[in-house]
Amino acid sequence: MTATDLTAPVPPTRTPVPVPEFSVWPATATEEPGGRVLLAGVPLADIADAHGTPVYVLDEAEIRDRCRTYRAAFPADGADVHYAAKAFLCRGLVRLVDEEGLGLDVCSAGELELAVTAGFPPERILLHGNAKSPADLAAALRLGVGRIVIDSPAEIARLAAALGPRGHQKVMLRVTPGVGAGGHAKVRTGTDDQKFGLSLRDGHAQHAVARILDQPRLELTGLHCHLGSQITETKPYLTALRRLVGLMARIRDAHGVVLPELDLGGGHGIAYRPGDPALDPTALARGLRAALAESCAAAGLPVPRLLVEPGRAVVGPAGVAVYRVLAVKTTGGRAFVAVDGGMSDNPRPALYGVRYAPRLIGRRSTAPAVRTTVAGRHCEAGDLLAEDVDLPADVRPGDLLAVPVAGAYHLSMASSYNLVGRPPVVAVRDGAARLLVRRETLEDLRARDVGL
């Protein structure tokens, strides 16, 4: 099958059946009696044949459903939902997020330029980052970004100077609320001992507020915090909310300013394997609204507009990575299945110890399951995509393996390690597939190397 064939609906050769045991797969996932797995009616094996492997497949309906779940949980009359672009961004996804009524949260000039040139309204974009470059700030001001989140005292004067005598920019202040949360120490960002934000405890946040308010070209619209990533409970968010409302009350008392916005960031956890916990956006929204109303009433403050920034929770479960098996062996008492990708297209197992549930997708096997380690192709002992997972004992070279929950922080964190090009991204919907991002080729890599 050619790439152009995938633009038309693909009728299944046999009646597919749902795969309910794979709760972490997109809702459109089905399986034919012969073992082939389809996503949105498109066989993953056909996509692998047409585009090669590794390949990322994004289920558009799953992304839209998740956007709509957030919009229903956080209605527009009192809240904004900003998709966190760092999870994954391409022009096709920019258009989809725009159509679903979400804003964007970006953290570089690159993400910002891509979004705006793809047609996304800049006033619905929020720029943050702990060390924004002059290019980041210049792009934000040139393109008219809606909010810039100030993360350090140095940014205040730098931003005011860049605006010039007649400029004006809405800003928020990132505050560290002293709340530790997240699935790994490297992604916990709400405590005082890391690089983000300004602390509530030592007075640096209050001092920064005073400095911003002294800058007539800067309009402080609210406070921002981000506690971490892969958070599966609502309690940390409620604790942070109460502490930030307390700071908003102190700002009112000290400066006579009532801030109209409160951004609690993202980090909403998802399930990577069946049985894993996940954060329920609807329950989170219900808890936040109740805590916000109670805290503001106690402080004598009007209820501010609430902002949240889901990224992984929107696109992560919509993605499936497809690999082809290159080698199978047993060594040191361990069974290894080596595939044609690895830490260059998914560094998360090596960085954070993330565990996945890979699956044989191109055929049905009746062989018994054995404990297997799925290894990548790169020259690192830590290049392991999944350790100690159950796979059929007869997995062999040429087979296809799929890793669900691959839509977030895979391609966005990918590299060209060993000069292996980054994989393509294919979107599927209603029996049709279309290429969103092409594969990075050797010609692409050579073009960057300009001298001998």
Burial of 235 (0-12, 13-18, 19+ CB in 10 A): exposed
Beta strand 425-429 pairing with 55-59: parallel
Catalytic pick among 67, 90, 296, 379: 379
Cβ burial 76-89 (10 Å sphere, 16+ → b, else e):
eeebbbbbbbbbbb
183 phi, psi to nearest 5 deg:
-80, -10
110 in Cβ contact with 83 (< 8 Å): no
How many C-beta atoms surround the C-beta of residue 355 within 10 A? 14
CA–CA distance, 128 with 134 (Å, rounded to integer): 13
CA–CA distance, 252 with 300 (Å, rounded to integer): 10
Instruction: Dump the DSSP string for 81-136.
Output: EEEEGGG---HHHHHHHHHTT-EEEE-SHHHHHHHHHTT--GGGEEE--SS--HHH
| Active-site annotation holds for 296 | no
How many C-beta atoms surround the C-beta of residue 130 within 10 A? 15
Instruction: Dump the DSSP string for 426-437.
Output: EEEETTEEEEEE
- Cis amide leading into 54 (omega within 30): yes
Residue in 190, 287, 187 with CA at minimum distance from that of residue 235:
287
196 in Cβ contact with 189 (< 8 Å): yes
Cβ burial 276-299 (10 Å sphere, 16+ → b, else e):
bebbebeebbebbbebbeebbeeb
118 in Cβ contact with 91 (< 8 Å): yes
Q: Calculate the alpha carbon distances from 228 to 191, 231, 335 in Å.
A: 9, 7, 35
HSE-CB for 298 with a 13 A CA cutoff: 10
* Residue positions annotated with a catalytic role: 379
